A and B are shown apart, each in its own frame.
Chain A
Amino acid sequence: MLLDALTLQLGYNATLVAVGAALLGTAAGITGTFLFLRKRALVSDAVSHATLPGVCIAFLLMAFAGGDGRNLAGLLLGSAVTAGIGLWCMNWLTRNTRLAEDAAIGAVLSVFFGFGIVLLTVIQTLGVGRQAGLEGFLLGSTAGMLYSDALVIAAGGALALLVVLLTRRPMTLVAFDPEYAAARGLPVSRIDMLMMGLVMAVTVVGLKIVGLILIVALLIIPAVTARFWSERSDQVVLLAGLFGGAAAYIGAALSASAPNLPTGPIIVLVSFALFALSLLLAPNRGVLAAVLRHQRFQRRVHLRQGLLALAQGQAIYESLTLRLLRRAGLMRADGVATAKGKARAAKALRDERRWDVVRSDMTHEAAAALYDGLRDIETVLTQDQIQDIDRQIGGPSEVPA
Chain B
Amino acid sequence: MSGEEFVPLSLTPMLIGIFAAVACALPGNFLLLRRQALIGDAISHVVLPGIVVAFLLTGMIAAWPMMLGAAVAAIVAVVLIEAIRRLGRIEPGAAMGVVFTTMFAGGVLLLEQTDTSAVHLDVEHALYGNLESLIWLDATGWASLLDPQALRHLPAELPRMALTLLGVSLFTALFWRALKISTFDEGFARTMGIRTNLLGLGLVITAAVAAVAAFDAVGSIIVIAMFICPPAAARMMTNRLEGQITWSIVFAVLSAVLGYIMAGYGPLWLGGVDAVSAAGMIATVSGVILAVAARFGPCRSRSGAPVGA
Contact = CB atoms under 8 A, between A and B. Distances in A.
* Chains A and B belong together in one complex: yes
Given A105-B38, A106-B37, A287 B87 contact: yes
Contacts of B105: 214, 217, 264-266, 268-269, 272
A102 B35 contact: yes
A268 B303 contact: no
Contact of B279 (A114, A264, A269): A114
A116 interface: yes
Contacts of B84: 279
B200 interface: no
Contact of A224 (B88, B108, B283): B88
Contact residues on B (Cβ < 8 Å of other chain), bracket: 35 or more
Given A106-B228, A117-B280, A118-B284, A100 B35 contact: yes
A336 B286 CA distance: 77
B94 A115 contact: no
Contact of B280 (A115, A217, A220): A115
Contacts, number: 210
- For B113, B287, B300, the residue with the greatest tally of chain A CB atoms inside 10 Å of its CB is B287
A98 interface: yes
Contacts of B294: 92-93, 96-97, 99
A272 B109 CA distance: 14
B274 interface: yes
A298 interface: no
Given A98-B235, A118-B263, A110 B280 contact: no
A109 B283 CA distance: 10
Contact of B106 (A99, A125, A269): A269
Contacts of A98: 235-236, 299-303
B116 to A, nearest CB: 11
A97 B275 CA distance: 35
A114 to B, nearest CB: 2
Interface in A70-99: 92-93, 96-99
B277 A110 contact: no
A139 interface: yes
Interface in B177-208: none
B91 A117 contact: no
Given A97-B301, A106-B40, A118-B277, A262 B112 contact: yes
B211 to A, nearest CB: 12
Contact residues on A (Cβ < 8 Å of other chain), bracket: 35 or more
B95 to A, nearest CB: 8
Contacts of A119: 280
B301 A138 contact: no
A396 B123 CA distance: 80
A98 B225 CA distance: 18
Interface string B74-97: 000000000010011111011111
Contact of B101 (A115, A121, A220, A260): A220
Nearest to B128: A117
A107 B226 CA distance: 9
A191 B224 CA distance: 30
A98 to B, nearest CB: 4
B47 interface: no
A220 B287 contact: no
Interface in B265-282: 267, 272-277, 279-282
B241 interface: no
Interface string B23-46: 000000000100111101100010
Contact of B127 (A109, A112, A138, A221): A138
Contact of B283 (A92, A115, A121, A272): A115
Contact of B228 (A103, A139, A290): A103
B20 interface: no
Nearest to B280: A117
A41 interface: yes
B124 interface: yes
Interface in A151-166: none
Interface in B103-129: 104-106, 108-109, 112-113, 123-124, 127-128
A107 B25 CA distance: 13
A205 B170 CA distance: 47
A42 B93 contact: yes
B51 to A, nearest CB: 16
A227 interface: yes
A41 B93 contact: yes
Contact of B94 (A224, A271, A290): A224
Given A98-B236, A139-B108, A224-B94, A103 B279 contact: no
Interface of B: 32, 35-38, 40-41, 45, 84, 87-91, 93-98, 101-102, 104-106, 108-109, 112-113, 123-124, 127-128, 221-222, 224-225, 227-229, 232, 235-236, 263, 267, 272-277, 279-284, 286-287, 290, 294, 297, 299-303
Interface of A: 36, 39-42, 44-45, 92-93, 96-100, 102-103, 105-107, 109-122, 125-126, 135, 138-139, 213-214, 216-217, 220-221, 223-224, 227-228, 260-262, 264-266, 268-269, 271-272, 275, 279, 285, 287, 290
Closest 8 CB pairs of A and B: A114-B283, A111-B287, A117-B280, A217-B101, A110-B225, A268-B105, A265-B105, A125-B274
15 contacts: A41-B94, A97-B300, A102-B36, A106-B228, A107-B229, A110-B228, A114-B282, A114-B287, A118-B277, A125-B275, A214-B105, A214-B108, A227-B90, A266-B109, A285-B89
